[in-house]
Every structure is written in structure tokens, then in C-alpha cells.
Amino acid sequence: MRSKLLQLLTSTDSFISGQEISNILGISRTAVWKHIEELRKNGYELEALPRKGYRLLRTPNLASADEIKAQLTTKRIGQNIVYKKAVASTQETAHEQARNGAPEGTIVVADEQLAGKGRLGRNWYSPPGSGLWSSLILRPDIPPHKAPQLTLLTAVAVVEGIREVTGLGSQIKWPNDILLHGKKTAGILTEMQSDPDRIQAVIIGVGMNVNQEAFPEELAETATSLRIEAGGTVYSRAELIAAMLKRFEHWYDHYLMNGFPEIRERWEALTVTIGKEITATTLTKTIKGYAEGITEDGVLILKKSDGTLEHIYSADITL
Amino acid sequence: MFKVNEIKELIRAVDKSGIGELEIRGENKEKLTIKKEVSAAATVSTGEPKETAPAPQPSAPLPAASAEPKEEAPAPVSKENDTAADETLHKITSPMVGTFYRSPSPEADPYVKEGDKVSEETIVCIVEAMKLMNELEAETSGEIVEILVENGELVEYGQPLFLVK
């Protein structure tokens, strides 16, 4: 039934009403609606207008292993791709992979993440085909307390990858939120499996809003996508992942050889946080101050009004 | 001032004796009191000498120095441990500087509470720095007897977070 519906939708560039579809296929309007929703879940983008009906805009833009591989020019980072249609979260899958011995450079990519779905509310759905959800497994031979530097390194790679594919100049909010025109377009969350003195695995999750056309009201003020900021251009997620991994490998190799200093400089050149009065909100307190810079470990240095310095390790930053 | 070994020896002596309380003064008049509860548990408390005027001579120890025995004295000793607590308890320490979280999210229940049994792979807390979340495993098995850090507090590299027995 769904393939017939697809045939019908692809046979024309104009709208076809729900009633027409219902008549042609001999199914109820409710059944038509259900099939349309199912197509959307599979990555088909459909425009729906009252009194006009449905129109197919786009077939899925997949970021499957084959499509990523076709674009990938790295030596090891991303060479082992675990692609899933839907997962609870790519971090969770990557943790399992890491525990089962997945090699450094393994990347888990999913078309859809189910966890967190409820939090976003019923009227908003992140359709498969719109975002880039990935988790990269690393096994660096560095002391565990150095690992947070990798999260700033990743932010640099994401900004450079976005610029390479889209030409858009995104910026970093400490430590690693990626902003376009002040709105969040990508986020990075890193988790570590470690012994007291040795890293088992560092798992870097990158979530990027790529082809969303709009965000629900409660997010619209703070979130954006590459597509929105580029005035409607749809981007290939496979190309974005490949570009990001290429930049990551460049900086990661540099880091393992030469350490953090040059990455810190690059990070400082791309950030919006430094040189401003900001507010840092932690679990226990709110600190206002002038963001002087970051330490050689990536820790944010705040100068408070009384002249004293405060080192910030974890906080939500508001500019 | 009292040395840790001296205090330990005194605790043992009091524990085995028939007396319920011992109070002595050291070279700088610092006071050491060892009390035994009815249950035979011994507790230790030390304090600054009350009568001593604040450092009259330049050569006298600074006021802070007289408080030092407090830090050196072992934590309250329970009846099962007639040697110092610190030696028999395993410490779970932080592998990095960062923010200590007792639960995966502010609304969630803590990973562990005092009295909980843990095994090597039990996750006991998260330490976060620069949005890197490090889930710490107990790396030992036993019972959490004390949580040494408050939720949301900044912890140092190597700082003890939990005591496990």
C-alpha cells in the first residue's frame, strides 16, 4: 500500500488531496494519514496544506555507512562505521561498542534517536533525515585528566567541518556549543570510560541540526539548523560527517604529537565567550564576571567584579 | 602536638581499659580527649587549650598550628575498628579536577547512598569538566560508609570522594 502511495506522490509535482488518495487507493482518510506519517518517519519530506493535500518535497537524505564511506578521506577516524536506523541514543550504542572492543575511530551514526523524544513535546518531531547524530570512540594514550581537552578540540573540528561544506561561519560557546547567529546548531557531549590512571575509551557525541526547517516555539529562540541559517539549502549529512571527521583527525593527530597549545589558540579564535561579561550558572551558584580566557586545560577563567579570578569547570554560560 | 601513632596507641589503650574517658594535654597545652561510649565505641576529640592566651611570644606556634592535631586525628573510630579508620577503609578518589555529581541528573536518585553495597563496576558518581562526563566505578567491593563531597562541589585531582569498607 505504501509503495502505491509513494508512486502516487512521486507521479506529480503538485498537490494531491487526501480524499483523492483515499479514492484511488480505496482506503480511509485515516489510513492515508497513517501512511503519510509512516513515510515521514522513514525520511520522506511531505508538505501538507489544508484543502490542497499532500506534496512530496524530498526523498530521504541518508547518512548510512555506504554514503559516509563514499565521502570519507580520513586514515582511521570514522573508518569503522556503525550505522543504525534508530537507537535510543548513539552514546549508549557507542558505549556498548567500546565495551565490546571497538577500535579507536569507530563512529556510531543513527538516523533517529528515540531517547529524549518525550522531553521535546508531542507537536515537535525530529524527522529522520534531518539531524546528524553521531558518537565517536577514541582510545587515546593520555592521562584521564587531560581528556576534557578533547571536547574543545572537537568543537574546533565541527566549526571547520561546517565551514568547509556550507561556508557558514559558526562560533563556539564555552566549552563546546556550536552557534550560528547566537543560536545553537550543534552540541557536543563527551563521556569517558576510565581506570584511575588509564583511559579505556572516550566517547564523543556530536548532535547537529542540519536540515530542520523549523523548531517548536520553546526551542525557536535558542536553536537553529544549517538549513535555516543558509536560507533553505538542504545539506548532505554524509558530507558533513566526512568533513567533520577529516578536520577531527587533523587536530587529533596534532594533539597526540604536540599537545593542546595550538588547539587552544584555534579555539580562542573561534569562540564568542572570551572578552565578554558573562554569567556562569552551576548546580550550586551563579557567577557573573568577565571571561578572561581559558587555561591550558580548557578551563574558563572568570574575573569577578572584586577582581578575583574564578576557574569554571562546568556551567551553563549566558552571554 | 600529638602524633597520629600516639593517638592510635592511646585509643587502643582506652579501648582495652576499664576507663570511660581519658583527657591529656600535650607540650603546647593542646587537649586530647578520648571517650568511650557505653557500647564500647571510642571517640576522639581534640581542641585548642581554652586557657592559653593567643600567642604571646613570637616563638610560640601560630594559633592555626594549635588546631592542627584536629586534622591529624583519625575520624571517629567505630567499635569494629580499633585501629585507625583511614587504614582499613578504601578510598575512591577523583581521577581529574571537575564537578562532582551524585546522580545522572538533578532530578534522579543518587547512584549510591551511605550504607549501599557496591561491587567493582558499580557507578558511584560523575565528575564533569568541560562537558566531559566521567562516570566513576567503585573499583572495589564493599559498603559505602561515607560520602566525603557534596553534590555539585568542585573536586581536585586525587581527592577522596567515598570511603568503602
Please give the average per-residue pLDDT across B64-82, as a whole number. Answer: 42
| Start-to-end C-alpha separation, chain A | 52
Backbone φ and ψ for B43, nearest 5 degrees, come out as -120, 155
The answer to whether A314 contacts B99, with C-beta atoms less than 8 Å apart, is yes
The answer to whether A176 contacts B130, with C-beta atoms less than 8 Å apart, is yes
Q: In chain B, whose CA is at the least distance from the CA of A177?
A: B131
Q: Does pLDDT of A58 surpass 50?
A: yes
pLDDT of residue A59: 65
Contact with chain A for residue B154, Cβ under 8 A: yes
Q: In chain A, whose CA is at the least distance from the CA of B95?
A: A196
pLDDT band for position A195 (cuts 50, 70, 90): confident
Please give the average per-residue pLDDT across A206-225, as a whole number. Answer: 89
Q: Which of A134-138, B68-72, B80-84 has maximum average pLDDT?
A: A134-138
Size of interface A-B (CB pairs under 8 A): 78
pLDDT of residue B81: 43
Q: Which of A10-14, A22-26, B111-115, B146-150 has the lowest mean pLDDT?
A: A10-14
Q: In chain A, whose CA is at the least distance from the CA of B102?
A: A283
pLDDT of residue A127: 54
Q: Which of A12-26, A261-275, B16-30 has maximum average pLDDT?
A: A261-275
| Start-to-end C-alpha separation, chain B | 30
pLDDT in tens, A145-179: 999 999 999 999 999 999 999 999 999 999 999 99
CA distance B67 to B48: 6
Q: In chain B, whose CA is at the least distance from the CA of A201?
A: B134
- Which of chain B's residues have a Cβ under 8 Å away from the Cβ of A176? 130-131
CA distance A214 to A310: 38
How close A313 comes to chain B (CA, Å)?
A: 5
Segment (H or E) for A176:
none
Chain B, 68 to 107: residues with Cβ < 8 Å from chain A are: 93, 95-99, 101, 106
**Which residues, 6 or more positions from B128, have their beta carbon under 8 angstroms from its beta carbon?**
A313, A314, B98, B99, B101, B134
In eight-state DSSP terms, residue B62 is P
Please give the average per-residue pLDDT across A286-306, as a whole number. Answer: 96
The answer to whether A147 contacts B132, with C-beta atoms less than 8 Å apart, is yes
- Which of chain B's residues have a Cβ under 8 Å away from the Cβ of A298? 129-130
CA distance A156 to A229: 19
Q: Which of A9-13, A34-38, A96-100, A121-125 has maximum average pLDDT?
A: A96-100
C-alpha cell at B69: 592535631
Is ipTM over 0.85?
no
pLDDT in tens, A272-290: 999 999 999 988 899 999 9
pLDDT of residue B40: 38
User: A116 or A296, which is more confident?
Assistant: A296
Alpha helices in B73-149 (DSSP H): 85-88
Assessment of whether the complete model's pTM goes beyond 0.95: no
Bridge partner list, A294:
A300
Burial class (CB in 10 A: 0-12, 13-18, 19+), A172: buried
CA atoms within 13 A on the CB side of A186: 35
Q: Cα A146 from chain centroid?
A: 24
| Domains within chain A, CATH numbers bracketed | 2-58 (1.10.10.10), 65-270 (3.30.930.10), 277-318 (2.30.30.100)
Closest CA to A148 of A317, A315, A314: A314
pLDDT in tens, B13-59: 777 676 777 777 776 667 777 777 644 344 444 444 444 344 444 44
The answer to whether B134 contacts A189, with C-beta atoms less than 8 Å apart, is no
Q: Which of A7-11, A178-182, B100-104 has the lowest mean pLDDT?
A: A7-11
Amino acid at A150: L
Q: Is the peptide bond before A175 cis (omega within 30 degrees of 0)?
A: yes
